[in-house]
Amino acid sequence: MNSETNSFKQKLIKLLPLLLISIVGVTALFVVNEFTKDKIKLNKQIAALAIINEVLPLEYDNDLFTDKIKLDVSDKINNTGSISVYRARLNNQPVAVSLMPVITKGYNGNISLIIGIRYDGALTGIRVLQHNETEGFGGQVHQDKTNWLQNFNNTSIFALPEKKWAIKNDGGEFDQLSGATITSRSIINIIYKTLEYYLEYRDKFYEN
């Protein structure tokens, strides 16, 4: 019996360093996570704010991250039926919103956009958040590749009738991306639908 007890104690002693290392490792990971999670969250907010400000080049005085809502929308705007809405205000008056992600179908998969819309319904900016397009088939849609998306700035459905929201080859107002007819048509279509939806339900976008 004593022999078995001694053998167990010896095994326990051998395992003790590994146990201590495991405890120290887990504790260290917990401490690092606690100290860094706020910084990670802040960095994500800074990155998000940077792209929001790109599509909302307007004066506002509220905190966009506390003036944010999730809004149920048509699956024509986002196939999940929900988008994030960041509301810009000045002196408590509505100025504009940024909507993301607005999702449309490109040549090679979904294209995710952030769209800025002034209170009166005019576009203030559009940026691509994510896409699966390849070079020569819509990959240049990203703002780092071309300024094509800037063609839509300050336009609205009041300024152009619906039939003009198309590429020039289809009798519309807009140039297409070179070699990317499907991508061009899809983005123009989703922009129009988003503006139309916004104007129809504008009050919902600014409700508290």
Output the pLDDT for position 4: 62
Output the pLDDT for position 130: 87
Pick from 29-38, 60-69, 90-99: least confident = 29-38
How confident is the model over 150-194, as pLDDT tens digits? 999 999 999 999 999 999 999 999 998 887 888 899 999 999 999
To the nearest whole percent, how much of the chain has pLDDT over 90? Answer: 50
Output the pLDDT for position 165: 95
How confident is the model over 130-157, as pLDDT tens digits? 887 777 656 677 888 888 999 999 999 9
| C-alpha span between 174 and 125 (Å, rounded) | 16
To the nearest whole percent, how much of the chain has pLDDT over 70? Answer: 77
pLDDT band at 59 (very low <50, low <70, confident <90, very high): very high
Q: Reply yes or no on whether the pLDDT at 12 is more than 70.
A: no
Output the pLDDT for position 174: 93
Output the pLDDT for position 19: 66
Q: Whole-prediction pTM value?
A: 0.77
Q: Reply yes or no on whether the pLDDT at 37 is more than 70.
A: no
Q: Which residues have C-beta within 8 Å of that of residue 137, sequence separation ≥ 6? A: 107, 108, 179, 180, 182, 183
DSSP 80: T
